[in-house]
Every structure is written in C-alpha cells, then in structure tokens.
Amino acid sequence: MTRFRGRICRVRIAADPAICFALLARHIHRVTQKEIVLDAISELPDEVSLCEIAERIDFLAAIQKGMDQLDRGEGIPHEEVKRQLAAWLAS
C-alpha cells in the first residue's frame, strides 16, 4: 500500500523482466529514461489508473537508483548481505 497525492493505492508491481532488461540495456545502448518510462507505460492495460502508472515509474526510478549506486561502487558485497539477512532473521 502506498500514497499518491494523498490517496491510498493498493498496487503490487512485480519485477517485470522486460523492464529490468530495458534498464540494463540503457547502460549498454544509452536508451533514454523517457524511452524506458514510455515503453513501461505502453505495456500497461488501457484501464490503468494514474496511481498504478506512478507506482510503475517509482519502481523504475528505484531500479535506476540502485544501478547508479552500483556504477559508483556503492554496492554491498554478497557476503555482507547474507550476514545482515541472517542477523535480521535471527532477531
């Protein structure tokens, strides 16, 4: 559940492989962010709400933010993630 312009939206967006591939392709072929968003929106059904469109764009932005962090070397090593997850599950 999330809020968009004060309204509660009950939207679940799965990690769409096509979207993830498009974001990855952006790094390889320099696809613009606008093109990625337009492609993602064009794949949604015609009766999609503005809230669902906003959720999809937020999802894309989060993926892009993570990829940019990895490009800057700000990622967390796999072993550290496993350690943090084990500590989280133990508490």
Could you report the per-residue pLDDT of 4-59, keeping only the tens digit for each?
444 444 444 445 666 666 666 555 566 788 888 888 898 899 999 999 999 999 98
Task: Say what the pTM is.
Answer: 0.58
Mean pLDDT calculated for residue range 52-79: 89
Residues of the domain holding 19:
2-90
Residue 76 has pLDDT above 60, yes or no: yes
pLDDT of residue 32: 84
Q: How many domains does the chain have?
A: 1
Q: Tell me how far CA of residue 16 lies from CA of 4, 13, 24, 38, 84, in angstroms.
A: 21, 8, 13, 15, 26
3-state secondary structure of 9: strand
